[in-house]
Structure 1
Amino acid sequence: MPDLLVAFAPVGWLNQHDWENPHVSVQTFSGGSLPFYLAQDGKSTGSAKPIPFWEAPGVVDALHKVRKYYLDGIINKDALNVDSSTIKSQFESGRIATRWAMTDGLSSQSLTPLRKAVPTAQIANVVPLRGGKDAKPNQTFQADNFVVLNVKGRSNERAMQLEDWVSIKENHDLLSYGVEGTDWKPVGADKFQQLSQYSFPGFALCWRQKLELKIKDITPTEEAWFD
């Protein structure tokens, strides 16, 4: 993502320091503007000691790399601001060789349009963290893409009824994949083939670990990370 280019933890994209120190923590002033790096010993000292991103280790060197790769013509000329849909379309047309992806099992969908532009193309999903699959994410999972109800909410019972309804496989599949036979068809026990352009932003509303299906053409590398 564009934010990862300059300062954000744990990757910093071209910041070698952050690759080697994946516990870096970053927050942005006023929500989404100026990033600040936070001290890693803040819990014990009682102070986060925030510093602006350009004072953090490796960031200036990373910015110089961005500039060099731009001048060399091997990085998106608008890398600091380009939106994700543009990156995806450039990738699928064969104009760029890499893009960011989530470990949701869906980045392999780009393979079909990519091969229309580059018939011999192949996709590999790489998560180059030290330790590979043994790397432990810097996350307690106490808060993330979850559904949250206000304890004083007046519609909590109806909300839970909806969650229960979506937890039924037929309903989950209808919202997540569309009408079976029209928008998708099952492939084996844990995969599906997409037949239309149906897309519903169910996200946390619909996510059920035991009900999620993988796309038929998922690449071996993405399937390994997804699993």
Structure 2
Amino acid sequence: MRKRIYGVPLGSAYTQERSVFIRKDLRERLNLPPVKTYEDLKAYLYAVRDSNSGITPLLAGADDATYSWVNWLIRDDTSINIRPTNFAGASLMLYYKGNDGKVYNFFETKEPKIWSNIEDVRKLLVDKVMSQDVLTNKSGPGELQLQNKVAATPQMAFGIPKAFNDQLKQIVPEGELEAVRLFDLTPEKNFSNFKMDNFICIVKTSKHKDRAMMFLDWASRQENYDLLEYGIEGVNWK
């Protein structure tokens, strides 16, 4: 056998879950309807800014381009289907567009949609809707949101984990998060290369390689996977 590293792919979907976590209690206090569109989301952000609550309306990005606001908006826009390459993390300086297999250079193309989103984010910064100095924050966006310091953050999830709301309520008893999904669920609208970005491997020094492989085989079966992922039907979920 050739010297290769083999791994069992981890994942149950061929795209990343994405949404924006906002404060439901703040939205309702500001007499705003449920957020369904990006324009609704911006109305919420500006309303938070104007409320003089002392809470930063939006915190995104920081040192991780995956969570930059431009990146977040582009990934959910199925009208253009632009995705970052693996160059420089999730940077859009080199990107895929559509399904032609080509890599595009933003400095050459000046892709209009990317540029318009950069201008939009610039306006959010100038209007003091976006955090004014994301690079000096000692905590991540999610953690700051749970500390009642931020009203909206991009998160790689479709729903709110119960633990998040539990933690927020320790600071703000009436506080509650809700997920805003701008993800387009229309069939055949999203592109994928069907690759997983996480794998599990058995280390070479393991003394129980066979038993480890037996467990991975067991855990990969649908009924066992569902048990580990969701728990017991009727007890942990309905």
**Shorter-chain TM-score tier:** 0.5 to 0.7
Alignment TM-score, normalising by the size of structure 2: 0.51
Residues 39 and 50 in structure 1, CA contact (< 8 A), matched pair in contact too: yes
Tell whether 2:75 aligns with 1:75.
Answer: no
Alignment of 1:16-95 (within 5 A): 19-21=77-79, 23-29=81-87, 35-43=93-101, 48-52=102-106, 55-79=110-134, 81=135, 85-95=139-149
Retained in 2: the 8 A contact 1:27–1:38? yes
Deviation at 1:160, TM superposition (A): 4.8
SS at match of 1:19: coil
1:65-101 per-position Cα deviation (integer Å, ceiling 9, x unaligned): 222212222212234x477952122101111112222
The separation in 2 between residues aligned to 1:91 and 1:65, in whole angstroms, is 22
Deviation at 1:61, TM superposition (A): 1.9
The aligned amino acid for 1:69 is L
Measure, in 2, the Cα distance between the counterparts of 1:49 and 1:21: 18
Q: Look up the match of 2:72.
A: 13
Written as runs of structure 1 = structure 2, the 5 A alignment for 1:29-178 is 29=87, 35-43=93-101, 48-52=102-106, 55-79=110-134, 81=135, 85-103=139-157, 107-131=161-185, 138-148=191-201, 158-165=208-215
Deviation at 1:166, TM superposition (A): 6.4
SS of 1:50's partner is strand
1:39 & 1:83 partners in 2: Cα distance? 33
Distance 2:159 2:207 in 1: 32
Unaligned runs of 5+ in 1: 170-206, 215-222
Which letter maps to 2:131?
N
Q: Which residue of 2 aligns with 1:190?
A: none
Separation in 1 of the partners of 2:128 and 2:104?
35
Kindly tell me: are residues 154 and 56 of structure 1, through their superposed partners in 2, closer, same or farther at Cα, counting changes over 3 Å? same
Give 1:111 deviation, angstroms: 0.9
Return the letter of the residue paired with 1:98. Answer: A
Aligned pair in 2 of structure 1 residues 209, 35: CA closer, same or farther (>3 Å)?
Answer: farther
CA offsets per residue over residues 1-53 of structure 1, 9 Å max, x none? 6224265xxxx3345x962426223214365667312243524xxxx152226
Greater RCO, 1 or 2 (C-alpha within 8 Å, sep 6+) = 2
Q: How much is the aligned-residue C-alpha RMSD, in angstroms?
A: 4.1
Q: Which runs of 5+ in 2 are unaligned?
A: 1-59, 232-236
Q: Percent identity?
A: 18
Q: Aligned with 1:128: secondary structure?
A: coil
In the superposition, relative to structure 1, how do residues 98 and 116 fare at CA in structure 2: closer, same or farther (>3 Å)?
same
- Secondary structure, counterpart of 1:42 in structure 2: coil
Q: Which TM-score applies when normalising by structure 1?
A: 0.54
1:192 corresponds to which residue?
A: none
